[in-house]
Chain A
Amino acid sequence: DVKVTQSSRYLVKRTGEKVFLECVQDMDHENMFWYRQDPGLGLRLIYFSYDVKMKEKGDIPEGYSVSREKKERFSLILESASTNQTSMYLCASSFGSTLFYSNIQYFGAGTRLSVL
């Protein structure tokens, strides 16, 4: 079974703090993704990566950065957390061999981040 593990289920941070969200997958997937999920807005793609040290902006990258130093690990960084970044953050991964497999994404359990 594919396992995508997010390091924290719940986080509470203060405005202006630097926040790190970690994600690890154990299936040797090439692609990894970060989404945020908000009521009424659905899933929105923040960043994705199709290889080590590679990253691409998604639909809402502002205020976020990412790091992928190893194939299995993809980190989302909030440089200076703000209250409007309070959300559910979801990490996903997929194979990158073909377009078909790259769109079959497996998700972690999510991190519920509250910024006060």
Chain B
Amino acid sequence: TQLLEQSPQFLSIQEGENLTVYCNSSSVFSSLQWYRQEPGEGPVLLVTVVTGGEVKKLKRLTFQFGDARKDSSLHITAAQPGDTGLYLCGGGGADGLTFGKGTHLIIQP
């Protein structure tokens, strides 16, 4: 069974600060997806990374896939209250998509 561990579970910071959240596994994934979920809504796909070492940027969000394709990170620069939400990573493999339990992020004004 493939497992994805996300850390930290909870993070509360002030507007304007930088932060990094992590998604780690002992398994190799063919792709990794990051989602953001707001309270009462479904997850919204942010990005897919597929190549070891790949870096993708989405405005103030930077996503990196580990060289061995076992882990990923999401870095947010100058966080804003609109970044508040649950960030989920999902690792893709032959058995489908395996999700971590998520990082609850709160950005305080």
**Are both chains from one complex?**
yes
CA distance A25 to B28 in the complex (A): 30
- Chain B proximity mask over A22-66: 1 for CB below 8 Å, otherwise 0: 000000000000000000111101001000000000000000000
Does the CB pair B94–A99 fall under 8 Å? yes
The number of inter-chain residue pairs (CB within 8 angstroms) is: 56
Give the CA-CA distance A102 to B94 in the complex, in Å: 10
Residue pair A105, B90 in contact (C-beta under 8 Å): yes
* B42 touching A109, Cβ below 8 Å: yes
Given A45-B96, A110-B41, A110-B42, answer yes or no on A100-B101 (Cβ-Cβ < 8 Å). no
Q: How far is the CA of A4 from the CA of B44 in the complex (A)?
A: 11
Chain A's interface: helix, strand, loop or mixed, by majority? mixed
Q: A40-B101, A42-B99, A105-B97 are in contact. Are A100 and B44 (CB under 8 A)?
A: no
**Nearest CB of chain B from residue A85's CB, rounded to whole Å:** 19
Give complex CA distance A78, B31 in Å. 33
B69 to chain A, nearest CB (A): 13
> For residue A7, which residues in chain B have a CB less than 8 angstroms away from its CB?
none
Cβ–Cβ contact A107 & B44, under 8 A: yes
* Residue interface bits A1-35, CB-to-B below 8 A is 1, else 0: 00010100100000000000000000000000000
Q: Complex Cα distance A112/B43, Å?
A: 14
B72 adjacent to chain A (CB < 8 Å): no
Contact A104 B33 (CB under 8 A): yes
Q: How near does chain A come to B58, taking the closest CB pair, in angstroms?
A: 15
B102 contacts partner chain A, Cβ-Cβ < 8 Å: yes
Known A-B contacts A42-B101, A45-B96; A108 and B42 likewise in contact (beta carbons under 8 Å): yes
Question: Which chain B residues lie closer than 8 Å to A102 at the CB level?
Answer: 92, 96
A-B contact list, 22 entries, CB within 8 Å: A4-B42, A41-B101, A43-B88, A43-B99, A45-B96, A90-B42, A99-B93, A102-B92, A102-B96, A103-B93, A103-B96, A104-B33, A104-B45, A105-B33, A105-B90, A105-B97, A107-B35, A107-B44, A108-B42, A109-B42, A110-B40, A112-B40
